[in-house]
Structures are given as C-alpha cells and as structure tokens.
Structure 1
C-alpha cells in the first residue's frame, strides 16, 4: 500500500528485454535507504518488487501483463520515474490510500499555466470516468491528486510548484501517457451497490 506522496525521482538505468518480460533497473537514493529484497516500490504508480539491489540501484521484473496495462511499456534508459516506498503503519497518510494497481492509462490533453499553479487535463480510458468526482482523489503516475473537474471522458487537476518540481508531472506534455489509479473506496462502493441490487432482484423473483 502507498499514499501517492512521491519520495524521489529515480532514473531508469537499464532495461533487459526477456521476451515476455523486462528486467528494469532504476538508479535511486532515498527509496534504497531501507529497501530489501522482496520489498515493494511504486514506479510511476505501479507496484514493483525489489529483485536485486546495489548501493544506488535496484532491479525489478516487469511481466508482460504489466507492460500491456501500464505506461511502463516503452520506458527507456535515462527516463525519470516517480518512486515511493510502501507505507508503514507509523507514517502519516499524507495523500490517500493507493494500492499501486494501475486501472488504466490516460493521455495528457493539455496544460494551462498560471502564476502559482498549472492546470493539466488528462483524457480517461473507457470505464474509468465513473469513479471520478469533483474534489475526489485520483492517482496519476503515482502522485495523489485532487480532481478539479470530472468530465465524461477527461478530468483536470491543479499542480502546485512542489508537485511540478518533484515529480514527472512537471514535464509531461500533450500526448504523453500516464498511469491512473482510481480511489479504491469508490470501487468498493460500486461493487457493494451492485451486489445489493442483485440481492434485491433475487428477492423480487422469489
């Protein structure tokens, strides 16, 4: 579990193509302070497992399913990536509950700068819009953000200077792909309501 508060920008060191998977090695500092083999680190919002590590790099195995469903497909050496270690029970939940399970890939539509922040519009993949509400939570490339305006096929967020400077969202341009994870609470509510409706229909048929 994560909070969507990015700890540092790492750099992709190398990629080893294994046919139906890749071995992704990332150069980092902060997230390696207490990371051990088997620990979880979110990379652009995608939960990966530490398989190898050195003093300043760590390696994860990324399966084809993950490549197919996230923006990690096409990542290249030298790319910057958002990194966050799994949250511990004694830490403040600064963002919101993030699983590191990407629901879909969105596309940056445009950016509108202002004096103190920047509004970014992101196009939604099919089926994800129903989980978004104005002032609700959304994770974009592992960053916990508040939805400004939830539209039918896109949404907007406002990025403060800290977010622009410390995450990849500061440089994502129109047409670039970003990982999206909807609020887990919204998904649970949807499932419970669907179950309730099913039970009601069964009772009506009896």
Structure 2
C-alpha cells in the first residue's frame, strides 16, 4: 500500500518492450538498495515489483521493474522514454504515517490535463477523465494523479472532468509541476468509493 506522498522524482533510463510485457529501468536518489527484490514500488502511481538493483554512483541508484501487458494498456507507462521524469514512492511500512490517503497502486485508467490556471503561489489543474470513473470522484474527496495524493476541488459532469489545486511543494517535487495540457496522467480513484458502490449494488440486487 502507498500514501500518494511522492518521495523522489526519478528518471527513466530505459524501457525495453518484450513480447507481452516490458522492463523499465529507473534512476533515483532513494536508497533503493535497501528495498528487497520482489518488493513493491510505485512509479507514476503504478505498483510495480522491483526485480533488479544496479550499481551506480554514491548519490544515485537505479533499479529495474517488470511491467505486464495489462499495466501497459491501462496506464501511461508504455509511453515513457529515456530521460522522462517519474514520481516514485516506496511501499508504506506497517508503522508508517498515512499522510495522504490509501493508494493501492492499481491504476483505474488515464486522464488528460486540459487546463492549468496559475495563481500567485499555486495552480489549479483541470483533468478530463473517462465517464466510467467520473462517478467515483467527489468534491473534497481524494484521488491519486500519477501517484500523487490530491484533493478534488471541483467536479464537472458534462464533459467529465475534475480540478485539483497544486501547492508549491507539489509543483516542485512531482511530475505535475511541468505537465502541460494534453499530458496523459494515471488515475486511481478512492478505493473506499469502489467498495461502497460494490456493496450497495450487491445489496440492491439481492432484494430484486
């Protein structure tokens, strides 16, 4: 499990496409050698399994993760190129602080940035999303955008979109600071909303 609090802006070194998957190599300032092989790490909000450590300079490290075909089709990871920045977060320890919200790293789909409105110290960013995800997004609720835990500030139904306000810290420490209109972003809606819908639907169905 993750919290949506980005720990580092990593950099893609290589994306090798295989028959039904891909291998992604990323450079990071995190002490990734302390992360066990087989452990989880979130890359732009996608939970991946770390499969290799690589020896690098003392101030930086790199790792490789496998990306399955399903992940490539449902997220933006397949479009990454060498040099691209990526949001990184290691899995939250059991005794850690839940500073953001519950993020599983299971991307529900992608959205597209359609507008940025700069303010004096922050920016309001509006993102279009698929209609089948719109019902899970509520004003003042939580959503993960490229793995970043954000609070929804406004919702529009037709066309389906939502807005978030990015504070200076988020602008400086995540990929969202430089993301321009037209950029594709990974979206993970609040898992609690999905469970509520599932339970409610099952209950109504049992009464039919």
Q: Is the 8 A contact 1:7 1:31 kept in 2?
A: no
Which aligned runs of 4 or more in structure 1 are off by greater than 3 angstroms?
A: none
Q: Is the 8 A contact 2:33 2:53 kept in 1?
A: no
Secondary structure of 2:193's counterpart equals helix
**What is the aligned partner in structure 2 of residue 11 from structure 1?**
11
Q: Is the 8 A contact 1:116 1:160 kept in 2?
A: yes
CA RMSD in angstroms, aligned pairs only:
0.9
Q: Is the 8 A contact 2:102 2:191 kept in 1?
A: yes
Label 1:65 to 1:31 Cα distance change in 2 as closer, same or farther (>3 A). farther
TM-score by length of 2: 0.94
**What is the aligned partner in structure 2 of residue 184 from structure 1?**
191
Q: Is the 8 A contact 1:31 1:85 kept in 2?
A: no
State the shift of 1:126 in Å.
2.5
TM-score by length of 1: 0.95
State the shift of 1:29 in Å.
2.2
State the shift of 1:74 in Å.
1.1
**What is the aligned partner in structure 2 of residue 149 from structure 1?**
154
After superposition, the C-alpha distances for 1:116-167 in whole angstroms (9 at most, x for unaligned) are 1100000011200100111000000000000000211000000000000000
**What is the aligned partner in structure 2 of residue 165 from structure 1?**
172
Aligned length: 201
Structure 2 unaligned segments of length 5 or more: list them.
Answer: 56-60
Q: Is the 8 A contact 2:9 2:88 kept in 1?
A: yes
**What is the aligned partner in structure 1 of residue 117 from structure 2?**
112
State the distance in 1 between where 2:206 and 2:16 align.
Answer: 50
Q: How does 1:42-53 map to 2 (within 5 A)?
A: 42-53=42-53
Secondary structure of 2:204's counterpart equals helix
Label 1:31 to 1:180 Cα distance change in 2 as closer, same or farther (>3 A). farther
State the shift of 1:33 in Å.
5.0
